[in-house]
Amino acid sequence: MKDGNERIRRLAPYPFAEINKARDKALEAGMDVIDMGVGNPDLRPHPLISEHFKQALDEAEHQNHRYPPFDGLMEFRGAIAGWYSERFGVKVDAETEILPLIGSKEGIAKFFLSYLDPGEIAIVTSPCYPAYIGAVGISDGTLYELALREDNAFHPDLDSIPEEVRSKASVILVNYPNNPTGAAESRELYERVLEFATRYDLAVISDIAYADLSMEPDYRAMSFLELSGAAERTIEFYSFSKTYSMPGWRLGFVAGNSTMVGNLLKIKTNMDFGVFMAMQRTGAYVLGAGADLIEPARRAYTSRRDTVLTGLTRIGIKATKPPATIYVWASIPPRYESSMEFAKDVLLKTGVVFAPGRGFGTYGEGYIRISLIQNEDRIKEAIDRIEKAGLL
């Protein structure tokens, strides 16, 4: 029997497997591990969200036990259209331009499957959410990592993309507020991306998973779909996972160009049955309820971010202040050669887990990502342990 196909042989293992293995070994050895590696929120969803879910679950006439419609409940799609209009002033058609997702990760992967032809290039900003890299690989596409550099506010330099990449590319992906750097977009950047995509006839994927997790009073993330003409070639992914502390609930959606959304629906129709109906009804409630449900988490993340930044400054680790997301992106100390070497040393000597930057792509090297998923006492404890271990 063969052990898999060519695609699976080519597919790189999950990038954090090595650090996760080291973490599990530390746990087995009885170490008090402080895990700030993966972006898996410790906060609980707002109690009203659970309450609405229970209500939605108990309504007999909702027929929750049945397969949901492939394209989702109109109640949820209508709420998404209303949210786009209210939040961004963007008009999206609930019938043809919106699709509920079982978390945005599956939608992103299946979109690439529906769009890339073998060998076609996907331009993806790097460092990035690692699932993009896997999704391009699974789709038999070729990845071009477009560097996000600190000296350019973690914005891409589109002029740096070689001519042969432009001619073989069919899609460009942007993600702001950015995982892992925490950087914010600017309207001017988005306009340049749209102009570039239009010139080379590329589709745009925008991922706004962290759009509602601003940590600065004067920063409110925008939608790429706000740009005039963007809807002709853009789809945008949104996730409930971080904003509403619902990662395990698996809820997200995509909005934008109807052909692109339709292609994704065609793939999904063959691969899954969409989102549990009680969950879609809960999603409709959550989007309608808005900021009240987000505020406690936003405040907690902001305060944790500030505690991390104060601690890092005290022990001499350089980090940029993220205006949004649930991450701090910090430089590794100069005496380490790689992010993996630093992350492993920190873990072995202190029990603190950071995600090595290289796991987020080529341009993540030299950094670590700190997830704000521990309370302030544990954050302070982590910083103290690193200071005492004399790693710097």
Ligand X SMILES: Cc1ncc(COP(=O)(O)O)c(C=O)c1O
**What are the tokens at 297?**
């988490």
d(CA 166, CA 262) in angstroms, rounded, equals 26
* The pair of three-digit structure tokens given for residue 136, joined into one six-digit string: 């391009």
3-state helix, strand, coil in the chain (%, to 5): 45, 15, 35
* Binding to ligand X in span 12-71, by CB under 6 A: 39
Q: Please answer whether residues 373 and 41 qualify as being in contact, where contact means their C-beta atoms are separated by less than 8 angstroms.
A: yes
Residues 345 and 299 sit within 8 Å (Cβ to Cβ): no
Q: Does 268 bind ligand X (CB under 6 A)?
A: no
Phi, psi of 295, rounded to the nearest 5 degrees: -50, -50
What CA–CA distance (Å, rounded) separates 163 from 81?
38
**103 sits near ligand X (criterion: CB under 6 A):** yes
Q: Of the two residues 15 and 103, which places its CB atom closer to ligand X in the complex? A: 103
Indicate the helix (H) or strand (E) that contains 266. helix 258-271
Per CB under 6 A, the list member of 146, 209, 227, 264 interacting with ligand X is 209
The DSSP 8-state label assigned to residue 94 in this structure reads T
- Please report how close the Cβ of residue 147 comes to ligand X at its closest, in angstroms: 17
Three-class SS state of 74:
helix
Query: CB-wise, 104 or 126, nearer to ligand X?
Result: 104
Counted residue by residue, the chain has a size of: 392
Find the binding residues for ligand X in span 240-259 (CB under 6 A). Answer: 241, 247, 252
- Note whether 126 binds ligand X by CB under 6 A: no
Indicate the residue among 182 and 311 with the shorter CB distance to ligand X: 182
User: What residues from 311 to 340 belong to the interface with ligand X (CB under 6 A)?
Assistant: none
CB of 238 to ligand X, least distance (A): 8
**Cα angle, residue 292 at apex, residues 288 and 297 outer, rounded to 5°:** 120
Q: Which stretch binds ligand X (CB under 6 A): 24-32, 42-50, 101-109, 312-320?
A: 101-109
Smallest distance, ligand X to C-beta of residue 103, A: 3
Distance, in Å, from the CA atom of 140 to the CA atom of 237, rounded to the nearest integer, reads 21
For ligand X, the binding residue among 239, 243, 307, 331 (CB under 6 A) is 239
Binding of ligand X at residue 236 (CB under 6 A)?
no
Distance, C-alpha 265 to centroid of its chain: 21
- Rounded Cα gap, residues 214 and 224, in angstroms: 17
| Shortest Cβ 237–ligand X spacing (Å) | 6
Site stretch for ligand X (CB under 6 A), options 13-21, 87-95, 99-107, 219-227: 99-107
Considering the rule CB under 6 A, would residue 207 count as an interface residue with ligand X? Answer: yes
Among residues 23, 105, 110, 281, the one that binds ligand X under rule CB under 6 A: 105
Applying CB under 6 A, which residues contact ligand X? 39, 103-105, 129, 175, 179, 207, 209, 239, 241, 247, 252
